[in-house]
Amino acid sequence: MKRVKNGLLACLYTVGVVACGGANNEKVYDDYIGVWQADGYNYALHIGVSKSSANQNKEYSLKQYSYTQDHCLLQREVAGYSLSELQQIVKLGHGQVVFEFIEPGQSLSPGIRYTKQETLPAACRHNLSAVAHQKNYRFDAERDFDIFWQTFSELYVSFDEANIDWQEIELEFRSRLQLVQNENDLAVHFAQMIERIQDGHNIVVKTELTADFDASMRANLASGEVDVYSYPLKPTYADLLIEEYVQQNNIALPLSNTDKQNAYAYAETQLDLYYANIFNLATTEVHARSNDHFIWTTLENNIGYILINQMDGYTSEFLDLAADKSAAQTQIDEAVAELQDTQAIIIDVRLNEGGFDEVGLVYISRFLSEYTALYSKRAAPIQKREIPLDVWLRPDGEIQYLKPVVVLTSATTFSGAEVFALAMRERANTTIVGERSGGGFSDILLKRVSSNIAFGLSNEVYTSPRGEWFERLGVPVHHEVSMPTKAQRENGLDPMLQRALELF
């Protein structure tokens, strides 16, 4: 699972984000109450009162609607927030007519922007669909198909770049709807549609959903017991190793369960060899943190080496940005302190498939000399007139490493990891070596249809400060070198790492 973003995921978990407010609680209360809308995300939010007593004891409710031009459903409904809790889940500003929802621990990058509205969108007022946990719900494959198709049509980031005719896909798959008998059939139907797009941030999940959509999705994904349909544009290195095994053993497709197990075992063995070839070059102790997702050492010629294999998953908590950022701050400070006397540092994110943008920003802050513009992001639909939000970062930490840095990337480098690579291009004295990254920058915008099917899509545009957009292309490199072949691995060679070392 990559970075999953939804407009209200922060509502249960955010701490330490205090919105504007003064001594007059009634006035603060009035600022939050009402309808809010995030156009580029097709979310509407109603904040109301769920319990009315003395002002200091009032409790507030939040209803999140997901809508398209023709359809609307109540995606999430929660209640019982105190005023102080309400102030902790939003960042209110711009004359109390704009606020941001942010993820737990988010402080370095923008959240989803909502603006105050007089009423809910027309579809929510006139065509609100019941959802699976409600008594009046009835399965309707055609309605859910419309919701799914329209959501992608209105929000998806790059049909033109993918050379996809979404209307043609609609006609093809709508004609097959008579074959869909239940939710499982419909989930497969949707999965076949997103397979045409080839975007690792487009997902389909068949799972039980409750009134608290976020909590049910979080629990179900954390369990690891739900199938997530996803089809990346570029194969990962592990995918290539499995393909390597299949080809060298002349195995026919589809793979049997035994063949799958053998292929996975082969890939694991080859990855062990790949890592052994790296750390055989170590000249000092190898330090590992965060479940081996963050490792550092020194290589020959006094070159520092930092391996970052994920931008999340550093603790036992699932998708806990605050905990992951805390771990990231500790381990990057340890690494930089130990490597400060090296002549350069190589940061290896070749096999990093993503995580939180903010974890990457924590790392970058230890390599900056000044306040630096790193990238911009906005919701994709041009017709929504979403204003790009610039991400600037200040140096942080006790030590800033300002000597040369090389970043190693591959086609496996994806999502939050390639946002890291995109941002590091703005640092002086930085070289990128390897392959262009995977080409998927957007967070995953989570939605649902009326049945027990959730889905996600890419809806955000990330650009460099110069306006460069690398969606589906990947972050470009200064020196192009391929990942190690089988022969190179077996001979102890890593040409990409060797090329980086040759720069010094």
Domains assigned to the chain: 1-129 (no CATH), 130-231+450-459 (3.30.750), 251-439+474-502 (3.90.226.10)
Q: What is the distance in angstroms between the CA of the first residue and the CA of the last residue of the chain?
A: 37
Measured over the CA atoms of residue 191, residue 195, residue 199 and residue 200, the dihedral's sign is positive
Q: 351: buried, middle or exposed (CB in 10 Å: 19+, 13-18, 0-12)?
A: buried
Q: How far apart are CA 476 and CA 32, in angstroms?
A: 44
In the predicted model, is pLDDT for residue 19 greater than 50?
A: no
In the predicted model, is pLDDT for residue 44 greater than 50?
A: yes
E strands, 168-300, where?
203-206, 228-230, 287-289, 294-299
Tell me what pLDDT residue 385 has: 60
pLDDT band at 271 (very low <50, low <70, confident <90, very high): very high
Q: Which residues contact 186 (CB under 8 A, 6 or more apart)?
A: 141, 144, 145, 180, 449, 451, 453
In the predicted model, is pLDDT for residue 294 greater than 70?
A: yes
Q: How far apart are CA 380 and CA 161, in angstroms?
A: 13
- Measured from the Cβ of residue 332, the count of other Cβ atoms closer than 10 Å reads 26
Mean pLDDT, residues 407-411: 99
CB 185 within 8 A of CB 440: no
Per residue in 448-483, pLDDT (tens digit) is: 999 999 999 999 999 999 999 999 999 999 999 999
pLDDT band at 52 (very low <50, low <70, confident <90, very high): low
Q: How far apart are CA 4 and CA 312, in angstroms?
A: 12
Q: How far apart are CA 429 and CA 451, in angstroms?
A: 52
Mean pLDDT, residues 11-26: 33
What's the pTM value of the predicted model, to 2 decimals?
0.91
Q: Of the candidates 381, 377, 378, which has an alpha carbon nearest to the alpha carbon of residue 69?
A: 381
Tell me what pLDDT residue 100 has: 82
Q: For residue 105, what are its two tokens?
A: 């621990």
Q: Of the candidates 238, 205, 202, which has an alpha carbon nearest to the alpha carbon of residue 224?
A: 205
Per residue in 111-129, pLDDT (tens digit) is: 899 999 999 999 999 999 9
Q: For residue 298, what are its two tokens?
A: 């020194």
Query: Is residue 434 within a helix (H) or strand (E), and if so which, with residue range?
Result: strand 430-434
Q: For residue 51, what are its two tokens?
A: 């319990």
In the predicted model, is pLDDT for residue 25 greater than 60?
A: no
Higher-scoring residue by pLDDT: 367, 319: 367
Tell me what pLDDT residue 488 has: 98
Mean pLDDT, residues 229-236: 96
Mean pLDDT, residues 330-337: 98
Q: Helix 141-155 and helix 183-195: axis angle, to 10°?
A: 30
In the predicted model, is pLDDT for residue 56 greater than 70?
A: no
Tell me what pLDDT residue 83 has: 76
E strands, 39-144, where?
43-51, 59-67, 72-81, 90-93, 98-101, 112-117, 128-129
**In angstroms, what CA-CA distances link 429 with 14, 111, 217, 369?**
36, 30, 42, 11
Q: What percent of the chain has pLDDT over 70?
A: 90
Tell me what pLDDT residue 34 has: 92
pLDDT band at 139 (very low <50, low <70, confident <90, very high): very high
pLDDT band at 382 (very low <50, low <70, confident <90, very high): low
pLDDT band at 157 (very low <50, low <70, confident <90, very high): very high
pLDDT band at 13 (very low <50, low <70, confident <90, very high): very low
Residue 340's Cα: distance from chain center in Å?
31
Mean pLDDT, residues 228-237: 96
Q: For residue 273, what are its two tokens?
A: 């060899």
Mean pLDDT, residues 181-205: 97
Tell me what pLDDT residue 387 has: 80
In the predicted model, is pLDDT for residue 249 greater than 90?
A: yes
Q: Of the candidates 178, 192, 214, 164, which has an alpha carbon nearest to the alpha carbon of residue 8?
A: 214
In the predicted model, is pLDDT for residue 411 greater than 80?
A: yes
Q: How far apart are CA 360 and CA 369, in angstroms?
A: 17
In the predicted model, is pLDDT for residue 286 greater than 50?
A: yes
**In angstroms, what CA-CA distances link 207 with 139, 181, 454?**
15, 17, 7
Q: How far apart are CA 371 and CA 334, in angstroms?
A: 23
CB 174 within 8 A of CB 145: yes
CB 233 within 8 A of CB 200: yes
